[in-house]
Amino acid sequence: MSTSKSRGPYAKGAERREQIVQTATDVFATEGFEGTALKRVAELVGVREATLFHYFRGKQELLTAVLAERDRRGMDTVGSDHVALPGLAAVAERNSREPGLTTLYTVASATANDPGHDSHAYFRQRYAWLVQELGADITARQAAGEVRTDLPADALARLVIASFDGLQLQWLYDKDLDVAEGLRGLIDVILAPPGKATP
């Protein structure tokens, strides 16, 4: 059997899976992920709704793939492969334009704490990666005198991440809340070295 023939069906399946993830991410961003959202995704991809799950073990695996794509697009927003304090506001602004994905992230993160949950590993790895990335950025800024040094970088990173998630949760109930501005305020006031905090 030739290599091209043996790899053909796999490659086609991978392409279809990617098409589903991209389409679902776009649909969920504006229409949410409940109700008829999956039917809409199937229509746009050109398959029956049940066929979507030939490419995923179930709905939760698809939702997790969408969350990973949301993260990838968020990194594209800041034009970097690394998480840094200045880019957080831009990500928050993007999230406010994609309420369906923001809701999906918030709901999934609150329910995936069970190790048996399909999204548990994703969130565990995501938070570890965020702390590492943001901690490295904060460490560099501490060395440059831009960020307070009375707390370890990883502790400050966790506070920033917790604030981002907490502000985003509040935003789901109050769309007038400016998450990006809240993050800027946190960075300017909480993280500033003593004597440099804005009044």
If you average pLDDT over residues 39-50, what whole number do you get? 90
Report the pLDDT value the prediction gives residue 6, as an integer from 0 to 100. Answer: 46
Q: Is the dihedral of CA 73, 78, 81, 82 positive or negative?
A: negative
Residue 195 — very low, low, confident or very high, per pLDDT cuts 50/70/90? low
CA 62 to chain centre: 14
- Residue extents of the structural domains in the chain: 60-189
Q: For residue range 174-194, what is the model confidence (pLDDT) as tens digits?
A: 999 999 999 999 988 878 777
- Please say whether the structural domain 60-189 has been given the CATH code 1.10.287: no
Rounded distance, CA 156 to CA 127, Å? 14
Distance of alpha carbon 199 from its chain centroid, rounded? 32
CB-based contacts of 181, cutoff 8 Å, min separation 6:
89
Q: Is the pTM of this model over 0.85?
A: no
Whole-number pLDDT of residue 31: 86
Contact status, residue 92 vs residue 179, Cβ threshold 8 Å = yes
* 46: number of Cβ within 10 Å: 10
Tens digits of per-residue pLDDT, 76-124? Answer: 877 777 889 989 999 999 999 999 999 999 988 988 998 988 899 999 9
Which pLDDT score is estimated for 1?
A: 42
CA 126, CA 19: separation in Å to the nearest integer?
23
Through-space distance between the first and last CA atoms of the chain, rounded to whole angstroms: 72
- Scan for tokens 């098409």, then name that residue: 19
